[in-house]
């Protein structure tokens, strides 16, 4: 007969409980990283034409600046996962907001490319850390019946961040007709990060993490804040966990380390969690960050004159397109629990590829006064890409690692998967402006379609029944 550990008994109490208001609030606090991820991508995309005009940046330098944001996320996710497993979820969720705020302020005060690069790199580091820490935290404080749906809802806040950024950008560009508006846009990132830092000071650490680290008294306090009606049961379970035999069985002396992710037991899970995320982020970040630039290149707003007016027009087009990111996430919250992660991930990759093919068709139409008829096709391609991306892989990749790995490996696995994904994002945002300059928009769109098809193939190859 297998002995049930105190940690498992407490997990059972939490899993079987109904969703409470405090857990809803903890979910809100955990959305900071994904919200800021969407916000900083949109802000930098809108600010980029103004930054290019002020500092006269070449396409390769533009690619480096865009890549700095996601390259920082590679380090943040890679380092943040093991650190969250070692030091706790809450400490990392506070530290990452400080890092984002410092990076945002540095970017807003920049007087040239080096400081801008450094500032955006720091912002990316903070976002990468939060991706790993918050996803692990949520999987350890939510009841089982609501866990999958609410973790998908967490990544949905990426699109909320984009829409918030669009609102800020449109207000600034319309009312502050200055080439320096980009500084206010970047500074807004820091203000939101500070707000989340202050709110997170109140939240308890993950009770599951506290239990596996042998911090039973603190675990009891955390559980009691989440489930006050189970106070007596929690105290009874944690008090019995103090003997040496139980402690040794549930509190490992050291973290397992990243190498275990490639052991025979976890190798397939690691590939499933990481490779599709890598491929998705090539397309997602490449297209998302440079949507205003792509719209400008397709001449959707060619009737506008002046850098600020043109940027305002492209920002409006991007905001309309990104609205369907939110619709896609809302759709994902409903369809992923019903149809399964793997199925929706596969459907999403297929839809992304078809959306890029529609854009290629629109761009290839003959250049004539009647060419304005291609604009609905342009928006249809972008909308399909965003809608199915967020109903599929952008919802599912974020949720796979927390479900595939145990508590002591959860943040490390999430960090590796997110970091590998951000490497793909770095490739996308660095190469896109260079490829667009050398080969044109249609080549970039074709490559994004190929990447999406590869994501579909890898997802089906590594699929697992327990992720359905």
Residue with tokens 């004159």, as numbered in its chain? 305
Q: What is the pLDDT of residue 254?
A: 52
Q: Which two tokens stand for residue 85?
A: 């497993």
Residue 142 sits at φ, ψ, to 5 deg, of -105, 150
CA 330, chain centre distance (Å): 15
- Cβ-proximal residues to 269 (8 Å cutoff; 6+ apart), any chain: 404, 405, 413, 464
- Pick the more confident residue, 27 or 319: 27
Residue with tokens 């400008």, as numbered in its chain? 296
Tell me the average pLDDT across 124-136. 91
- Does residue 246 carry a pLDDT above 50? no
- Does residue 459 carry a pLDDT above 50? yes
Q: Which two tokens stand for residue 173?
A: 């560009």
- Pick the more confident residue, 396 or 464: 396
Q: What is the pLDDT of residue 28?
A: 94
Considering only CA atoms, which of 333, 373, 91, 124 is closest in space to residue 218? 91
Q: What is the pLDDT of residue 9?
A: 76
Tell me the average pLDDT across 328-334. 75
- The model's pTM is 0.74
* Residue 160 burial class via C-beta count within 10 angstroms: exposed 0-12, middle 13-18, buried 19 and up: middle
- Cβ-proximal residues to 170 (8 Å cutoff; 6+ apart), any chain: 312, 315, 316, 319
Q: Structural domains in the chain?
A: 6-467 (1.20.1250.20)
Q: Which tens digits make up the pLDDT trace of 369-418?
A: 545 556 777 778 888 888 888 888 988 888 888 888 887 788 888 888 98
Neighbours of 197 (CB within 10 A): 18
How far apart CA 68 and CA 235 sit, in angstroms, is 47
C-alpha distance from residue 461 to each of 393, 414, 421, 444, 456 (Å): 15, 20, 18, 26, 9
Q: Which tens digits make up the pLDDT trace of 161-184?
A: 888 888 888 888 777 767 778 899
Residue 418, CA atoms < 13 Å, CB-side half-sphere: 39
Q: How confident is the model at residue 312 (pLDDT cuts 50, 70, 90)?
A: very low
Lowest mean per-residue pLDDT among 310-319, 363-372, 398-407: 310-319
Integer Rg of the chain from CA: 22
Mean predicted lDDT score pLDDT of the chain: 80
């Amino acid at each position: 007969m297998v002995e049930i550990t105190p940690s498992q008994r407490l997990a059972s109490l939490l899993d079987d409980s109904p969703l409470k208001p405090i857990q809803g609030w903890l979910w809100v606090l955990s959305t900071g990283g994904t919200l800021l991820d969407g916000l900083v991508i949109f802000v930098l995309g809108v600010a980029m034409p103004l930054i290019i005009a002020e500092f006269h940046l070449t396409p390769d330098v533009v690619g480096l600046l865009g890549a700095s944001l996601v390259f920082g996320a590679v380090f943040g996710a890679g380092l943040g996962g093991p650190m969250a497993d070692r030091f706790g979820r809450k400490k990392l969720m506070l530290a990452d907001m400080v890092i984002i705020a410092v990076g945002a302020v540095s970017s807003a005060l920049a007087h040239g490319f080096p400081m801008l690069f450094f500032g955006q790199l720091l912002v990316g580091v903070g976002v990468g850390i939060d991706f790993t820490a918050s996803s692990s935290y949520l999987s350890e404080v939510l009841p089982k019946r609501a866990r999958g749906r609410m973790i998908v809802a967490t990544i949905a806040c990426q699109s909320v961040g984009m829409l918030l950024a669009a609102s800020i950008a449109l207000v600034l560009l319309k009312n502050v007709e200055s080439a320096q508006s980009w500084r206010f846009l970047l500074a807004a990132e820091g203000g939101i990060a500070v707000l989340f830092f202050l709110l997170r000071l109140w939240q308890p650490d993950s009770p599951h993490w506290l239990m596996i680290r042998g911090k039973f008294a603190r675990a009891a306090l955390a559980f009691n804040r989440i489930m006050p009606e189970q106070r007596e049961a929690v105290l009874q379970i944690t008090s019995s966990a103090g003997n040496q035999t139980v402690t040794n069985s549930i509190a490992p002396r050291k973290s397992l380390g990243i190498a275990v992710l490639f052991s025979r037991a976890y190798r397939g899970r690691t590939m499933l969690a990481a490779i599709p995320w890598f491929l998705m982020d090539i397309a997602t970040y490449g297209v998302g960050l440079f949507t205003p630039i792509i719209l400008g290149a397709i001449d959707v707003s060619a009737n506008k004159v002046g850098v600020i007016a043109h940027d305002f027009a492209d920002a409006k087009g991007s905001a309309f397109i990104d609205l369907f990111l939110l619709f896609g996430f809302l759709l994902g919250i409903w369809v992923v629990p019903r149809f399964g992660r793997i199925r929706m991930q596969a459907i999403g990759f297929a839809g992304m590829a078809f959306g890029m093919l529609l854009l290629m068709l629109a761009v290839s139409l003959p250049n004539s006064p009647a060419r304005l008829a291609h604009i609905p096709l342009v928006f249809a391609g972008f909308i399909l890409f965003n809608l199915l991306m967020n109903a599929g892989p952008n919802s599912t990749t974020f949720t796979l690692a927390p479900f595939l790995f145990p508590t002591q490996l959860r943040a490390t696995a999430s960090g590796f998967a997110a970091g590998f994904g951000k490497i793909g994002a770095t490739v996308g945002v660095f190469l896109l402006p260079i490829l667009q300059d050398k080969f044109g928009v249609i080549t970039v769109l074709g490559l994004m379609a190929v990447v999406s098809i590869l994501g579909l193939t890898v997802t089906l190859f590594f699929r697992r029944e327990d992720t359905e």
